[in-house]
Each structure stands twice: as structure tokens, then as C-alpha cells.
Amino acid sequence: MKSINKEDINQEVFDLYDDYAHNRVDRREFMHKLGAYAVGGLTVASLMSFLMPTYNMEAIQIQADDPRQQSDYVYYQSPKGGGKIKALQCMPDNTKGKLGGVIVVHENRGLNPHIEDVGRRAALAGFISVAPDALTPLGGYPGTDDEGRALQSKRNREEMLEDFIAAYDYLKLHPNCNGKIGVVGFCFGGWIANMMAVRISGLSAAVPFYGGQPANDDVPKINTPLLIHYAELDKRVNEGWPAYEAALKENKKEYTAFIYPNVNHGFHNDTTPRYDKAAAELAWRRTVEFFNSKLK
């Protein structure tokens, strides 16, 4: 089988994968269209394998047993959403005193190993983090992203938003939390981060990564400082940015936005070939600095 490098892949392949990952084409159509790019020794199977996330030990930056942090699964109540929700809770080891809280919101596939890793990264940055699994009412993240996407499509988006709002309520009462809470979310989670800023007046910070924007009528309700990350090649999500920015300016909201050049939607996820190391590390560094300024 021919080895594949990211640089060998046409942008159209990444765009096609984005359609598949967001349920705009089904698996059969995805594989059929992918066949057009199976040339020069490449096969559909090899392209599929290359594009799918890899959750091996090397792909996880902070292992679950890293002694610098403590992590456990907890449950909290979401009466307006899915009921009892499971989440990964992380904090620095030997925590003394109170910390700022960070809610980590997954993509459209449930609490997979990558998002758990991000939760642990937030802990090592000095926060108590909670990464809920919106698939809890359906049995939780099923072990693969394909199955996770299928499950998440069965849940109501507004009810899932309530699950993450309930995570804010959970952290607000946590004995190790100082009461200042932020949210960081990716893709679907980016939309959740934007909407939590709309819905929660006391939210201290929101960081949507390539997330869908709220309606213009909702922007006046935002009291939360925003740090917004977009990928230049992500035309689908970026279509909504000019109107969102205009509404933020018109309503004099506090925000900073970055569009990272020549990177794809999902550039922060280091388990897929859409990952861009330089952009991901810069965006995460900016995120931690933003949380340090708002949550401590």
C-alpha cells in the first residue's frame, strides 16, 4: 500500500471528508466520491484509513495516568436536557485552593479520547475542567467516531445545549472552583460555546473553535468575552463570520478573532490529518492565556 502524506492529498479530499464528518453525505456516497482520488497507487481503503482519526498512545498528549493531574468520571444532573450526564473531570494534582473552571465541549461525535485529552490539557494549564458526554442518554461514546456521529444525530441539539449549561451549574457549585467559568468547544462544541455565551450571563469566557454562529438577534444577549478561532479553508463555517462580526461590533461586545491561514476545519485535532501543529499550538496558547486573564 502506498504511504500517504498530508501534502499529497487534494484539498477536495479534505472538503469531502468534512462533508462526511458533518453528515452531509453518507458513508456510501463518501466512499464512492473518494474513488475519484484513488489514483497513482492510492486506494479508497488507504485514503479512508488515512483520513480517519487515530487514537493510539502516540496521538494522546496527556495520558490518563499522568501524575501531574487527577481525572475521574463524574455524573451531574441536566433536568432540561438528557437527565444524568457523564463527564470527565480533571484538575492539577494536589490542588490547593480554588481554580477557574473550564467546560470542554466535544465535536459531533461524543466524548472521544481526543476531547478527554483536551480536558487533561486544561487541567495542566491550571484549571478544573469538565468534559461532558452528550451521548450519555444513548449509552455514551460508543468507541468509534462513525458510531458516535450516528448516535449524536439522534439527539436534539437544543437539549444537548442544556446539558452543557447544566455543566456550568455543576462547576459553579464545585468546592474546588472559584466561580469563574469558561468554555472551549470544537465544531459542534464551538456552536455550543457561542450559545452558552448567549444563554449564560455569568459565563466568564468563551472560546469557540470553528463553531457555528448564533443568530444576529441573539448577539445583544452576550455578556461574555469571546476568543474565536477559525480555519481559513473552512468555507462552510466561515460563511457566517462576517455577519457575526458585524453584530458583535454593532453591539459593542468584547471579542478577539483569529483566522488561521491555510488550515482546515478541525486543525486543532491532532488525531486526524487535518491537524496543523503550528496553528493548533498557537491557538491553544492563546486560549490558555485568555482563560488566565478571565478565570483567575
Q: For residue 1, which of 66, 37, 58, 50 has the smallest C-alpha distance?
A: 50
**3-state secondary structure at position 72:** strand
- Residue 148 carries which DSSP code? H
Read off the pTM.
0.95
Q: What is the pLDDT of residue 184?
A: 98
Handedness of CA 30, 186, 163, 137 (dihedral sign): positive
**pLDDT band with cut points at 50, 70 and 90 for residue 1:** very low
Tally of helices (H runs) and strands (E runs) in the chain? 10, 8
Range in 6-10, 185-189, 247-251, 254-258 the model is least confident about: 6-10
Range in 6-10, 85-89, 110-114, 206-210 the model is least confident about: 6-10
Domains of the chain: 6-51 (no CATH), 57-295 (3.40.50.1820)
* pLDDT, mean of residues 27-50: 86
Cell reading at 90: 480533571
Percentage of the chain exceeding pLDDT 70:
99
> Phi and psi dihedrals of 181, rounded to 5?
-130, 135
Percentage of the chain exceeding pLDDT 90:
81
Q: For residue 132, which of 96, 83, 62 has the smallest C-alpha distance?
A: 83
Q: Is 96's pLDDT higher than 90? A: no
**pLDDT band with cut points at 50, 70 and 90 for residue 52:** confident
How is 217-286 classified by DSSP, letter by letter?
A: GGGGG--S-EEEEEETT-HHHHTTHHHHHHHHHHTT--EEEEEETT--TTTT-TTSTT--HHHHHHHHHH
Output 276 or 5, whichever has higher pLDDT: 276
Average pLDDT, the chain: 94
State the Cα–Cα distance between residues 188 and 157, nearest whole angstrom: 9
β-bridge pairing 255-260 and 177-186: unpaired
Output 180 or 2, whichever has higher pLDDT: 180
**pLDDT band with cut points at 50, 70 and 90 for residue 3:** low
Cell reading at 239: 460563511
